[in-house]
Amino acid sequence: MADKKSSKVPSGRASRFAKVAGLAGGLAGGMLAEGARKIRAGERPKTSDLLLTPANARRVADQLANMRGAAMKLGQILSMDTGDLLPAEWTDVLARLRSEADPMPASQLEAQLEAALGDEWPELLYDFKYTPVAAASIGQVHRAIGPQGKPVALKIQYPGIARSIDSDVDNIATVLRVSGVLPDGIELQPLLDEVKVQLHEEANYLLEAEHMQRYSQRLAEDSRFLVPEYYPELSGKSVLCMSFMPGQPIESLIEQDQQERNRVVTALVELMFTELFVWRTVQSDPNFANYLYQSDRGAIVLLDFGATRTFKAAFANNYKSLAKAAIAKDRGRLLNAAMKLGYLSEQANEDITELLLDMFMLAAQPMMYDEAYDFASSDIATGMQEIGWQLQEKVQDNDSGWHSPPVAAMYLHRKIAGTFMLATRMRAKVNVHKAISVHL
């Protein structure tokens, strides 16, 4: 990553709460400024118009990027939705939290390495690069040379992140709820509880190492994929050391011919369905930075297994029923599968129900026909945004019967949407129907 000014990670409960309080003050100040501007222009603004502005969204994103940890991760998760929780302007701004964070200063970085590897860490890691190659919500990644002279990558966790997860999630959710950013009628507690569990798992680098090794074993015979090697002697719960994997950003694939683009994206689509329906274990963060492309070998390097989720058999089977119903264009069966998955309750009104079914049918377009789907000409993103706007209006009704989507599904949809987004960016043509049909 390009050099970026570092900022100290607030690691104490009081300092992190002060950041949250500052966020609330910033939102209020933004509302006053926007209100004054509209009044000068002769307008009579509504409170929601003052709050849900791109400027306020940027204030939230900047503060969360500075806090890092669970606060930033919650912003990422809120950006995953399709418009039913937040306006599109907010999800667009918050989406940058998926790959951007302020790097920590050298003093905190060295303290984390010393805590994990001891005072002798400089002797273990030759030519350690202080400028991170990536900085995300839980930690940042650095290059070095290991004891055996091999290039390694070290994922180093920000200080205090693990112990601040529960309070961060609760505090940020309170600010967003009280400020009116999140609409009334949304039951957030199940979402927040699941987020806390997931973040505690992501903050455990030993668990991530297990996932990485498991993927390496499962893909050992598949030459299309490469997974880093884990170095346990240079790792701990807050430092994860692995082999450094060379490669170009996955976006460089656009420079290849159509056939190669189709082949690589097809491999990622097939992997996604194998993860869900065979392994029931999905690396749920499809951030483009988590993939590299080795053009000389035509191989895809898989990075970052922190967001790996294991799904229950019932969820995978119900999702299989959902996909089969959508492919068959059977809205009755689709509704039944959606209710089993927890998308809808019996209290949901007809408008909400029909909009959600429309959304499922639209998302399933690439799967419906046994032919290559041309992602370059896809209108799915635009259609989903339009449905999201309509859903947001309906959710405001007290009798909508709406509740937040199941968290497991939100993580899975992030994976599917991100994979399809990459396919669109690469202008790929993929027979998605064939890729999923072998599992149905």
Residue scoring higher pLDDT (330 or 83): 330
% of the chain beyond a pLDDT of 90: 45
Integer Cα distance of 400 and 96 in angstroms: 31
The predicted structure's pLDDT at residue 351: 83
**Can you list the domains of the chain with their CATH numbers?**
13-99+163-186 (no CATH), 105-157+204-245 (3.30.200), 248-440 (no CATH)
E strand or H helix at 300, and its extent? Answer: strand 299-302
The predicted structure's pLDDT at residue 268: 97
DSSP-assigned letters across all residues of 60-77: HHHHHHHH-HHHHHHHHH
Residue scoring higher pLDDT (206 or 390): 206
Integer Cα distance of 140 and 121 in angstroms: 17
Across the chain, which distance is largest between two alpha carbons, in Å? 70
Any residues with CB less than 8 A from the CB of 379 and at least 6 apart, and which? Answer: none
The predicted structure's pLDDT at residue 87: 52
What is the pLDDT averaged over residues 57-78? 55
* Residue length of the chain: 440
The predicted structure's pLDDT at residue 2: 44
Asked if 367 and 327 touch (Cβ cutoff 8 Å), the reply is yes
Q: Which residues of 208-220 are buried (b: 16+ CB within 10 A; e: fewer)?
A: bbebbbebbebbe
Residue scoring higher pLDDT (32 or 257): 257
The predicted structure's pLDDT at residue 258: 97
pLDDT tens digits along 327-364: 999 999 999 998 888 887 777 788 888 888 998 999 99
Three-class DSSP category at 434: helix
Q: Which long-range contacts (CB under 8 A, 24 or more apart) does 150-154 make?
A: 150/243, 150/244, 151/243, 151/244, 152/125, 152/231, 152/234, 152/241, 152/242, 152/243, 152/244, 153/228, 153/241, 153/242, 153/243, 153/244, 153/245, 154/113, 154/125, 154/234, 154/239, 154/240, 154/241
Options 102, 168, 285, 304, the catalytic residue: 285
Three-class DSSP category at 368: coil
Quickly state the pLDDT bin for 61 (edges 50, 70, 90). Answer: low
The predicted structure's pLDDT at residue 43: 41
The predicted structure's pLDDT at residue 47: 37
DSSP letter (8 states) at residue 230 = B
The predicted structure's pLDDT at residue 266: 98
The predicted structure's pLDDT at residue 204: 92
Asked if 17 and 24 touch (Cβ cutoff 8 Å), the reply is no
Integer Cα distance of 388 and 394 in angstroms: 10
Residue scoring higher pLDDT (199 or 298): 298
The predicted structure's pLDDT at residue 148: 86
Does residue 291 surpass a pLDDT of 80?
yes
The predicted structure's pLDDT at residue 232: 95
DSSP-assigned letters across all residues of 328-351: TT-HHHHHHHHHHHTS--TT--HH
Q: The whole model's pTM is what?
A: 0.77
The predicted structure's pLDDT at residue 208: 95
Task: Show the tokens assigned to 311.
Answer: 């799904």
CB atoms within 10 A of CB 123: 10
Instruction: Looking at mean pLDDT, say which of 322-326, 387-391, 407-411 comes out highest.
Output: 322-326
Q: Following CA atoms 279, 285, 286, 287 in sequence, which dihedral angle do they give, to the nearest 10 degrees? A: -160
Integer Cα distance of 306 and 39 in angstroms: 47
Asked which of 95-109, 142-156, 199-213 is least confident by mean pLDDT, the reply is 95-109
Quickly state the pLDDT bin for 37 (edges 50, 70, 90). Answer: very low
Asked if 70 and 20 touch (Cβ cutoff 8 Å), the reply is no
DSSP letter (8 states) at residue 406 = P
Amino acid in the structure at residue 91: T
285 flagged as catalytic: yes
SS3 content of the chain, % helix, strand, coil (to 5): 55, 10, 35
What is the pLDDT averaged over residues 74-95? 49
What is the pLDDT averaged over residues 169-174? 72
pLDDT tens digits along 250-273: 989 999 999 999 999 999 999 999
Asked if 420 and 375 touch (Cβ cutoff 8 Å), the reply is yes
Angle at Cα 73 formed by Cα 379 and Cα 343, nearest 5°? 55
The predicted structure's pLDDT at residue 381: 81
Does residue 31 surpass a pLDDT of 50?
no
Quickly state the pLDDT bin for 276 (edges 50, 70, 90). Answer: very high
How deeply is 268 buried, as exposed, middle or buried, from its count of CB atoms within 10 A (0-12, 13-18, 19+)?
buried
Task: Show the tokens assigned to 59.
Answer: 């204030």
The predicted structure's pLDDT at residue 89: 52
The predicted structure's pLDDT at residue 319: 93
Q: How high does pLDDT run on average in the chain?
A: 78
pLDDT tens digits along 97-144: 445 567 888 999 999 999 999 999 999 999 999 999 887 777 889 999
Quickly state the pLDDT bin for 80 (edges 50, 70, 90). Answer: very low
Q: How far is CA 60 from CA 25, 243, 393, 400, in A?
A: 11, 35, 23, 28
Does residue 430 surpass a pLDDT of 90?
yes
Quickly state the pLDDT bin for 77 (edges 50, 70, 90). Answer: low
Does residue 322 surpass a pLDDT of 70?
yes
